[in-house]
Amino acid sequence: MKNRGSILLAFVLFQAFSVGAQAKLVVNAPDSLSFLLFVDDVQCNTLPVSSIQVSKVNVGKHNVKVVVEAQESIFLLNAKNLFSHSLTVSVLNNMLVLVPTGELKLQAKAFQFWNNNAILVAVKDSVYVGKKGCESPASPSTVDSLVAVLHSKSFDTERKIIARVQLEADCFQVKDIVKIISTIELEENRMDCIVAALGHAYDLTAINELLELVILDRNKETIRQKISQLQNK
């Protein structure tokens, strides 16, 4: 019976990862931190480890979850053809987080932060009835997790890259866009993120609040022009 169970687990893993597989997933953690890895609810290791590699992942979206004792962290990974996607497991402010590294940070267009079973919560139309730039904005816990990761980075350019990728990949309320971009110091880096966020702002009636993120008049004028183009669509 034990052998039959092992064969069944191997078959499930084969079905999940081998058909059309063209990407690799690598998840690492400090030696003091061991985790269980799940991809699309398929458990990849039976004992906690501090490093694991899944060599065959189908191109497309996958739920990647790590579990450490009572905490878990989940990413929606958009696996790219012939890419090696890397995640690092860490603990930040007593929360388990998955931090993108390597190619995932620079290339991925669709990953999302969740921590400790937090999920996306859409803002109901009864709360906001103005013009929308996108649907189902990220939840407060998602935003807080992203901001925590940004604060953990030492370099402004690194914060800009992570923020820009996330702002391009999801929908956010304007107040949350301001919160995210406020973690970035250099105005030129803020401008990159503002431009990335304009097409992913939920509540367009509040979009002018983004002007407060920059000081230079030329940058304010650039943002006004892009906002005008967005509102006239």
Mean per-residue pLDDT, 107-136: 50
Report the predicted TM-score, pTM, of the whole model to 2 decimal places.
Answer: 0.50
- In this structure, the answer to whether residues 125 and 229 fall within a common structural domain is yes
- In this structure, the answer to whether residues 112 and 165 fall within a common structural domain is no
- Residue with the bigger pLDDT between 115 and 126: it is 126
Domain finish residue from 99, 117, 135: 117
Mean per-residue pLDDT, 70-92: 79
- In this structure, the answer to whether residues 105 and 139 fall within a common structural domain is no
Domain finish residue from 90, 117, 144: 117
For the cut 80, the answer to whether the pLDDT of residue 22 exceeds it is no
- In this structure, the answer to whether residues 77 and 151 fall within a common structural domain is no
- Residue with the bigger pLDDT between 90 and 73: it is 73
pLDDT, one tens digit per residue, over 180-197 is 999 999 999 999 999 999
- In this structure, the answer to whether residues 5 and 102 fall within a common structural domain is yes
Q: Cα–Cα distance between 56 and 85 in angstroms, integer? A: 11
- In this structure, the answer to whether residues 91 and 167 fall within a common structural domain is no
Give the other-Cβ count within 10 Å of 228's Cβ.
9
For the cut 90, the answer to whether the pLDDT of residue 49 exceeds it is no
Q: What is the 3-state secondary structure (H, E, C) of 51-109?
A: EEEEEEEECEEEEEEEEECCEEEEEEEEECCCCEEEEEEEEECCEEEEEEEEHHHHHCC
For the cut 60, the answer to whether the pLDDT of residue 172 exceeds it is yes
* DSSP calls for 28-52: E--TT--BEEEETTEE--SS-BSEE
**DSSP annotation of 114:** E
Which pLDDT band, with edges at 50, 70 and 90, does 215 fall under? very high
* Contacts of residue 18, Cβ cutoff 8 Å, sequence gap at least 6: 56
- In this structure, the answer to whether residues 37 and 23 fall within a common structural domain is yes
Q: Cα–Cα distance between 39 and 221 in angstroms, integer? A: 45
Check: CB of residue 17 under 8 Å from CB of residue 39: yes
- Residue with the bigger pLDDT between 126 and 48: it is 48
- In this structure, the answer to whether residues 141 and 39 fall within a common structural domain is no
Q: Can you read off the two tokens belonging to residue 167?
A: 């702002």
- State the residue range of the domain holding 175: 121-233
- In this structure, the answer to whether residues 2 and 108 fall within a common structural domain is yes
- In this structure, the answer to whether residues 98 and 162 fall within a common structural domain is no
Q: Cα–Cα distance between 41 and 38 in angstroms, integer? A: 5
- In this structure, the answer to whether residues 162 and 91 fall within a common structural domain is no
**DSSP annotation of 211:** G
- Residue with the bigger pLDDT between 49 and 7: it is 49
Predicted local confidence at residue 17, as pLDDT: 45
Domain finish residue from 88, 117, 146: 117
- In this structure, the answer to whether residues 2 and 113 fall within a common structural domain is yes
Q: Count how many domains the chain has.
A: 2
The Cα-based distances of 128 to 41, 87, 169, 198, 221 in angstroms read 34, 35, 22, 18, 27
